[in-house]
Amino acid sequence: MKRINIYILLAWLCFGCSDWLDVKPSDRLSEEAAFSNLANFKQTLNGVYIELNSDALYGEALTYGTVEILSQRYDINSENKEAYAFSQYDYAGASVEMRLEQIWGKAYNVIANTNLIIENCETHREVLADKYYNIIKGEALALRGMLHFDLQRLFGPLYAQDSTLISLPYYKKFSLTSEPQIPANLFMRDVIDDLRHAERLLQDDPIIENGVKGDAGDDFLQDRNLRLNYYAVQGLLSRAYMYVGRPDSALYYAEKIIEVQEEKFPWIERNDALMGGAPDRVFSTELVFALENRNVGSAYARYFDASVLKGSSLLGIRKDVTEYLFDGRDYRYMSFLKGEGLVNNVSYSLFNKFYVADSLHAEMMPMVRASEAYLTAAEILLEEDPGRSRELLNKVYVKRGLEEISWYPGESDITEEWYKEFVGEGQLFFYYKRKMMEQVQSPRDPYGRVSISLSKYELPIPDAEIKYN
């Protein structure tokens, strides 16, 4: 980490304010000033959320960009050189190496700032009332755990194959020197420890009593689905336990989300998803956690508008693939995949989930969906309780405008839903990696498959980091 320029990021407006993203991330203060009072604690934590929207993190690479390319979501033209290399699992080129360095460096940079917050929650405990201490430290711990987890899912070894292989460094304190790389199982133990600690601290999260609107009397405690709230942490715990092969614990946390889903994160209504001048294409009511990113709308024009883009820049989802995989009545197809554009005589769906519209939900980048809990529970119960598994899967089908299935579901049914449910959200590649799938859906042939060598699931750690360990 010696090459990473670590600094404290400050957002000068509270999270709930309408123009909180106008902050320049280069604003800096000394550590002492940053944590001298409650207002500055809030601002510093807000700065971390802002940085999550960087292109190297969830503003592109870890959502609709790099990891979706790795999942074979898009039919990439060879003229689109960096994207094409990733689609071919060719990690040797200069542009690919630079992208991986950017992801690695930005993630650890933000982790360093979460560590500053966590440490100063103790150093300056006197300026934090209990409820703010618990919320601020809880969210910071959850952010640290989430970022480490996604680095592990991208750069780490195949956990299910050998969890004792050396993986990545885990940073539990602010440091300008490198920490050693540790085995994957110890790394994931730290991820889960951070998330469990965050869960305990967030037991009085306003979302529990008031729902996503939070505390009406405090801007910082409002819009709780735009922060790593109590239920979002439980969603991440379910995801992490599934990753390490502890299905009982994964099911426990998935069921926690399912229990409150109808009340806290209700299913999208058909009219809201499809009708009006600003349809809710991200199905925002179902989002347990999302980032607010004012720049997300530019993704459509930059990468997905097949009506005007050339093959050298298009991230294209082929029309014949979507028509084969999606039922025409599926809200997901009708809401953000139904349009059509022609590039190089190939028809592509106009993927407009992130199309600019005058609404808050158009600025939301999904991070944790309630439906993931249903798919996780359905997967775990496939053999143990196939009836319950079918019930859970049917809930998703019906809420997407589809008919219930009468048969007991299998692994392929779960995989198909992962493909359809998280388009442009960066979860599909990680699902494939967890399952160690060597054949996945082709991006250009509805009936075809693409082979993935298991070795290609482990992206190379940047050389700059290796030489310091």
Instruction: Please state, in angstroms and rounded to a whole number, the distance separating the CA atoms of residues 235 and 238.
Output: 5
Residue 118 C-alpha from the chain's centroid = 22
Residue 12 has pLDDT above 50, yes or no: no
Domain ranges of the chain: 20-294+356-466
H-assigned helices in 343-427: 370-380, 386-399, 411-421
Class of domain 20-294+356-466 (CATH, top level): mainly alpha
Residue 270 has pLDDT above 90, yes or no: yes
Which residues, 6 or more positions from 130, have their beta carbon under 8 angstroms from its beta carbon? none
Token output for 220: 């910082």
Per-residue confidence band for 298, with pLDDT thresholds at 50, 70 and 90: confident
The one-letter code for the residue type at 56 is: A
184-238: pLDDT as tens digits: 999 999 999 999 999 999 999 999 999 999 999 999 999 999 999 999 999 999 9
Q: Give burial (CB, 10 Å; 0-12/13-18/19+) of 388.
A: middle
92-106: pLDDT as tens digits: 999 999 999 999 999
Rounded average pLDDT over 65-79: 97
Q: Quickly count helices (H) and strands (E) in the chain.
A: 19, 9
- 254: helix, coil or strand? helix
Contact of 423 with 433, CB cutoff 8 Å:
no
Contact of 3 with 464, CB cutoff 8 Å:
yes
The pLDDT score that the predictor gives to residue 10 is: 39
Instruction: Please state, in angstroms and rounded to a whole number, the distance separating the CA atoms of residues 317 and 427.
Output: 16
Contact of 127 with 75, CB cutoff 8 Å:
no
The pLDDT score that the predictor gives to residue 118 is: 98
* Pick from 306, 448, 282, 449: nearest CA to 361: 282
Residue 1 has pLDDT above 60, yes or no: no
Per-residue confidence band for 17, with pLDDT thresholds at 50, 70 and 90: very low
Instruction: Please state, in angstroms and rounded to a whole number, the distance separating the CA atoms of residues 373 and 5.
Output: 37
436-449: pLDDT as tens digits: 999 999 999 999 99
Per-residue confidence band for 297, with pLDDT thresholds at 50, 70 and 90: confident
Residues β-bridged to residue 349: 317, 340
Token output for 425: 């959200």
The pLDDT score that the predictor gives to residue 49 is: 97
The pLDDT score that the predictor gives to residue 54 is: 97
Q: Report the 10 Å Cβ neighbour count for 189.
A: 14
Instruction: Please state, in angstroms and rounded to a whole number, the distance separating the CA atoms of residues 222 and 231.
Output: 15
Residue 14 has pLDDT above 60, yes or no: no
Instruction: Please state, in angstroms and rounded to a whole number, the distance separating the CA atoms of residues 362 and 118.
Output: 32
* Pick from 395, 436, 357, 170: nearest CA to 265: 395
Token output for 387: 């009836």
Instruction: Please state, in angstroms and rounded to a whole number, the distance separating the CA atoms of residues 87 and 308.
Output: 22
Per-residue confidence band for 463, with pLDDT thresholds at 50, 70 and 90: confident
Largest CA distance in the chain: 65
The pLDDT score that the predictor gives to residue 466 is: 55
The pLDDT score that the predictor gives to residue 347 is: 96
Contact of 366 with 282, CB cutoff 8 Å:
yes
Residue 374 C-alpha from the chain's centroid = 17
Which residues, 6 or more positions from 1, have their beta carbon under 8 angstroms from its beta carbon? 108, 112, 169, 171, 175, 176, 177, 178, 179, 465, 468
Instruction: Please state, in angstroms and rounded to a whole number, the distance separating the CA atoms of residues 439 and 429.
Output: 12
The pLDDT score that the predictor gives to residue 181 is: 96
Rounded average pLDDT over 392-420: 98
Instruction: Please state, in angstroms and rounded to a whole number, the distance separating the CA atoms of residues 84 and 372.
Output: 29
Rounded average pLDDT over 247-259: 98
Which position has the token pair 């197809």? Answer: 333
Which residues, 6 or more positions from 189, have their beta carbon under 8 angstroms from its beta carbon? none
Residue 9 has pLDDT above 50, yes or no: no
